[in-house]
C-alpha cells in the first residue's frame, strides 16, 4: 500500500434517519500509513463519523470517499462476552462476507484467522472463549478480525478504554505495525496524551473544531471548544485530561 488518501471527506453533514444533522462541516483526509486520532466529547460525533464512513448513515451535505475495505473495531464492551465463540471464531467473522451462503468456512479462511491472531500476538489463546480473555486481548481479537477483512481503513472506537497499561502498550504496538503496512487508522479516543502520538488529530464537537498535526492543533483553545464543559485541566506541557460520562452517539 502506498501513502495515498484512503479517506476523503468534504464538508460532510451526517444524520440519523430523517432527523436533523448531528455532525456538521467535517472535512479531512486520512492517508495510508497514518493514524488519525478522533477526539471529542461523548455525543460529539465520533461514532457518528464512523457510521457515516461505513455507509450506515445518510449524508445530508458534502461527500465522502473511502478507498478499499473499511473495518470497524468496536469497543469490547459492546460485544457479547457471554456469546459462545472462541478468539478464532471471532477472527473468522472477518471472512464471513468472502464466501456465498451455501459454502462453509474452509481451511483458507481458518488459516487467515489464525494468522491474524498470530499477528496480534494471540495465537496461544485462539481456542479460548472470547469472554474469558482480558480486555486488552479482546481488543486485539477484534483488530485481528479487521485484519482478516484485509481492511485498508480501520475505524477503532476507543480501543484503549478499560485496558490496563501493558495491554494498552501492546495495542499501541499493533496500531504502529498496521500503520507501517500502509493502512489508514482512525482512532476515536478520549486520551489527549495518546492523540499527541498520532499523525493527525480530528477534533469534533457536533461539528469539526479542528484538523491537523497534533502539536499545532491541540491548543488549549481547541481543546476547550472540543470538550466544552468536559475539559477539566491543562497541565504542564499542554497535557489535558477529560472528564467523560458513558453515553455515546
Pick the closest to residue 200 from 220, 221, 179 (CA basis).
Answer: 179
Residue selected from 66, 87, 90, 175 as contacting another protein according to rule CB under 8 A: 90
- The whole-angstrom separation of Cα 119 and Cα 147 is 9
Residue ranges in 35-64 that form contacts with another protein under rule CB under 8 A: 54, 56
CB 28 within 8 A of CB 211: yes
Closest approach, Cβ 55 to another protein, in A, equals 9
Q: Cα-flanking dihedrals φ and ψ of residue 75, to 5°? A: -65, 140
- The whole-angstrom separation of Cα 48 and Cα 41 is 12
Asked if 149 interacts with another protein (CB under 8 A), we say yes
Residue selected from 2, 18, 80, 246 as contacting another protein according to rule CB under 8 A: 80
Asked if 162 interacts with another protein (CB under 8 A), we say no
The rounded radius of gyration (Å) of the Cα atoms in the chain is: 18
- The whole-angstrom separation of Cα 238 and Cα 193 is 9
Asked if 176 interacts with another protein (CB under 8 A), we say no
Asked if 73 interacts with another protein (CB under 8 A), we say yes
Whichever of 98 and 199 has its CB closer to another protein, that residue is 98
Interacting residue ranges for another protein, rule: CB under 8 A: 54, 56, 70-74, 78-80, 82-86, 89-90, 93-94, 96-97, 101-102, 129-130, 142, 145, 149, 155
Amino acid at each position: 500500500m502506498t501513502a495515498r488518501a484512503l479517506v476523503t471527506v468534504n464538508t460532510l453533514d451526517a444524520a440519523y434517519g430523517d432527523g436533523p444533522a448531528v455532525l456538521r462541516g467535517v472535512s479531512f483526509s486520512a492517508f495510508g500509513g497514518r493514524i488519525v486520532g478522533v477526539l471529542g466529547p461523548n455525543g460529539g460525533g465520533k461514532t457518528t463519523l464512523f457510521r457515516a464512513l461505513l455507509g450506515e448513515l445518510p449524508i445530508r451535505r458534502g461527500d465522502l470517499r473511502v478507498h478499499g475495505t473499511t473495518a470497524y473495531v468496536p469497543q469490547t464492551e459492546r460485544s457479547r462476552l457471554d456469546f459462545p465463540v472462541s478468539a478464532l471464531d471471532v477472527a473468522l467473522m472477518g471472512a464471513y462476507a468472502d464466501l456465498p451462503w451455501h459454502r462453509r468456512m474452509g481451511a483458507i479462511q481458518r488459516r487467515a484467522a489464525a494468522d491474524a491472531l498470530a499477528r496480534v500476538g494471540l495465537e496461544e489463546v485462539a481456542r479460548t472463549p472470547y469472554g474469558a480473555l482480558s480486555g486488552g486481548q479482546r481488543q486485539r481479537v477484534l483488530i485481528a478480525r479487521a485484519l482478516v477483512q484485509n481492511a485498508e481503513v480501520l475505524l477503532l472506537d476507543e480501543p484503549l478504554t478499560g485496558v490496563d497499561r501493558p495491554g494498552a502498550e501492546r495495542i499501541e504496538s499493533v496500531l504502529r505495525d498496521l500503520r507501517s503496512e500502509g493502512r489508514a487508522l482512525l482512532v476515536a479516543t478520549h486520551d489527549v496524551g495518546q492523540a499527541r502520538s498520532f499523525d493527525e488529530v480530528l477534533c469534533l464537537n457536533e461539528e469539526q473544531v479542528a484538523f491537523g498535526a497534533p502539536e499545532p492543533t491541540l491548543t488549549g483553545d481547541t481543546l476547550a471548544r472540543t470538550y466544552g464543559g468536559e475539559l477539566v485541566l491543562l497541565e504542564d506541557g499542554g497535557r489535558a485530561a477529560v472528564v467523560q460520562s458513558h453515553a455515546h452517539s
